[in-house]
Amino acid sequence: MKNPIAKYLMCAYAYYELDKPLIEDFEFDQLAKDILENWDNIQHMHKHLLNKDMLVAGTYLGEYPSMVKGAVGNYIRENNLWV
């Protein structure tokens, strides 16, 4: 999870849809702040799914691309987090 947009979407999906947090709440909040601070310098194919209001609230309740869902599933399997 190198790109902060990818990380944000993956963590939101794991938390909101799978009830499997990948990071602590305070880390997610910090990630949202970091993205906001660097918004103009961040490029990612799914950036259009986020907006600044979501980041201020520290949430994401939009649609998740299948790429995000698959990446989270792989991450959880590789790190034995299904338990």
83 in any annotated domain: no
57 in any annotated domain: yes
The domain containing residue 65 runs over which residues?
4-78
pTM over 0.85: yes
34 in any annotated domain: yes
Q: Phi first, then psi: give them for residue 2, nearest 5 degrees.
A: -85, -45
Cα 11 off chain centre by: 4
**Number of domains composing the chain:** 1
Q: Write down the pLDDT at residue 61.
A: 87
Q: Write down the pLDDT at residue 31.
A: 97
Report the C-alpha gap between 65 and 72 in whole angstroms: 11
Report the C-alpha gap between 3 and 72 in whole angstroms: 14
Q: Write down the pLDDT at residue 83.
A: 61
Q: What is the mean pLDDT of each run of 10 residues along the chain (83 residues)?
A: 90 96 96 97 96 95 95 93 72
